[in-house]
Amino acid sequence: MTFNEDFLEVSIDIFDMSEELKREVYKAIEIQKVNDIKERDEWYAKNPDLKKYERVWSVKTVIIDFTYLSIVLETGQPTKYVIEVGFHDADNDLIESAASVTVDLSEYTNELKKAIVKVMVDKFF
């Protein structure tokens, strides 16, 4: 068994966030939807016979399936904090995607470190 002792990623579910952060998340979702459409258009250009299966995002607000904070710790690198959000179309569950928002939580590093260690020890040891 081999361990990579220079890298650790911790994911923490998010149940609520500030209005400002929600705006950032929804902005990232809209950007991802545009990127998905561009990728899909390129794919259909290469496979025109499949365009009949094309699905488009509705104008309704998406349904968020999950939101979590990813904390990436890597030796010699600054800690990365990223909010990951998975979502699908309000009218069609088959249209889904995910978006990311990088956040700066560096001022909370010590509190997060203590919380992560406590949860790991309490839950798994």
Q: How far apart (Å, rounded) are the C-alpha atoms in residues 32 and 101?
A: 11
Domain boundaries, the chain: 7-124
Name the more confident of 21 and 43: 21
> Rounded to an integer, what is the distance from CA 62 to the centroid of its chain?
14
Tokens of 113: 């470190």
Computed over every residue of the chain, the mean pLDDT equals 90
Per the confidence metrics, is the pTM higher than 0.85? no
Which parts of the chain fold into alpha helices (H)? 19-46, 109-124
Q: What is the tens place of the pLDDT at every residue in 56-70?
A: 899 999 999 999 999
Say if CB 99 and CB 25 are below 8 A apart.
Answer: yes
